[in-house]
Amino acid sequence: MSNDALTHPTDGLAIGHALTEAATIAGYAPSIHNTQPWRWRITGHLLDLFTDRSRVLAVTDPDARLATLSCGVALHHARMALAAQGWQVTITRLPKPTDPDHLARLHVDGRAPVDLPAALHLRTIPLRHTDRRPITGAPVGPQELQAIAAAVEAEDTWLHTLTPGQVLELASAADHAQRTETDDTSWLDELAYWTGGTRPGGTGIPDAAIPDRAARTTVPGRDFGHHGDLPISAEHDKAAVYVMLHGRTDEPSDWLRAGEALSAGWLTATEHGVSVLPHSAPIEVVSTRQAMRVVLSSTGYPYLLLRLGTIDPADAGPPYAPRLPADQIIEQPEPTQTP
């Protein structure tokens, strides 16, 4: 159907509704410490995505690389929602060079056939979540890995599967990053603000999603500074597979694309019964980020490490982390006053 299809008087309403729904669904996106550092603005046929600086981790993420990556996940979620509902959209990433917080503009061009893979992703979005329990099942198979890599690569980002030797390098980098961060009281204060307890506000990582004891792992997971309530197995997670999202350059536009790739890969993983746990500490600390670059033979730049594992289909997994209400992340024009 051509763009001329946008002539029916109800299309404006339908587009406004579709954009509100897309931005609302994007709220399910995973983000560093569940900060949800995004803000959406709807104006006519336009949906604009901005970084919300009030929810960027000033100490952990001073360049906003992980916030931008998180916003990229939200952008991909919104894209899937629109494609699944049969809307043709043009996306401009970083549309204003003078405004680095303006990450993307989506323009609805008109109707399109419903995109079936996007429709499947749309169903998966509310089901996806982070699982920090040790991986004790069978290792992820080659077919699943290939499907996840293809989804990532379709978003202009690469996926490298770490060799056993590189997993040990990652383990050492994760341990070093963790020690560097915990030596810094401002980092500890920031972590304590965003994790654990029963904090109000729909953000942060609740105790229910944090393991109730130290997990037996080759690569240390994030040390939240306290144990949570999530029951975990005493087994070693030796079945874990580690992959790295990476690309040729290291600019905000790459981090945004890496987030879109993370969304595509994570939704595909969930659909294939594979759990995902991001490891961002080795990216947060400059020296360990450099060490991860060496793993790539300095041919590219690392964006994020992921632990993959198979999920027992009978296991519902850990509880879901909270989310901000839609009206706190979406700006809508004031309704026109009738005289």
Ligand X SMILES: Cc1cc2nc3c(=O)[nH]c(=O)nc-3n(C[C@H](O)[C@H](O)[C@H](O)COP(=O)(O)O)c2cc1C
Q: Tell me whether residue 102 or residue 323 sits nearer to ligand X (CB atom).
A: 323
Query: Burial code of 273-311, b = ≥16 C-beta within 10 A, e = fewer?
Result: ebbbbbbbbbbbbeebbebbbebbeeebbbbbbbbbbbb
132 makes contact with ligand X (CB under 6 A): yes
Applying CB under 6 A, the site for ligand X has a residue count of 23
221 makes contact with ligand X (CB under 6 A): yes
257 makes contact with ligand X (CB under 6 A): no
32 makes contact with ligand X (CB under 6 A): yes
289 makes contact with ligand X (CB under 6 A): no
In the block, residue with structure tokens 């450099």: 290
Amino acid sitting at position 169: E
Q: Tell me whether residue 110 or residue 204 sits nearer to ligand X (CB atom).
A: 204
Distance, in Å, from the CA atom of 228 to the CA atom of 223, rounded to the nearest integer, reads: 11
Measured at CB, which residue is nearest to ligand X? 30
27 makes contact with ligand X (CB under 6 A): no
Distance, in Å, from the CA atom of 90 to the CA atom of 79, rounded to the nearest integer, reads: 10
34 makes contact with ligand X (CB under 6 A): yes
302 makes contact with ligand X (CB under 6 A): no
Find the binding residues for ligand X in span 222-251 (CB under 6 A). 222
Residue 132 beta carbon to ligand X: minimum distance, rounded to whole angstroms: 5
Work out the burial of residue 137: count CB atoms within 10 Å of its CB; fewer than 13 is exposed, 13-18 middle, 19 or more buried.
middle
Q: Note whether 109 and 129 are within 8 A (CB).
A: no
Residue 43 beta carbon to ligand X: minimum distance, rounded to whole angstroms: 27
> Measuring CA to CA, which residue among 243, 251, 215, 247 is closest to residue 306?
243
Print the binding letters for residues 53-92 with ligand X: x by CB under 6 A, - otherwise. -------------x--xx--x-------------------
Pick the piece of the chain touching ligand X (CB under 6 A) from 27-35, 101-109, 165-173, 328-336: 27-35
310 makes contact with ligand X (CB under 6 A): no
Contacts from 144-150 at CB under 8 Å and sequence distance 24+?
144/269, 144/272, 144/273, 144/274, 144/310, 145/241, 145/243, 145/308, 147/268, 147/272, 148/243, 148/265, 148/268, 148/269, 148/272, 148/274, 148/308, 149/243, 149/265, 150/268
Task: Find the binder of ligand X among 55, 79, 121, 279 (CB under 6 A).
Answer: 279
Q: Tell me whether residue 50 or residue 87 sits nearer to ligand X (CB atom).
A: 50
Interacting residue ranges for ligand X, rule: CB under 6 A? 30-34, 66, 69-70, 73, 129-130, 132, 205, 221-222, 277-281, 304, 320-321
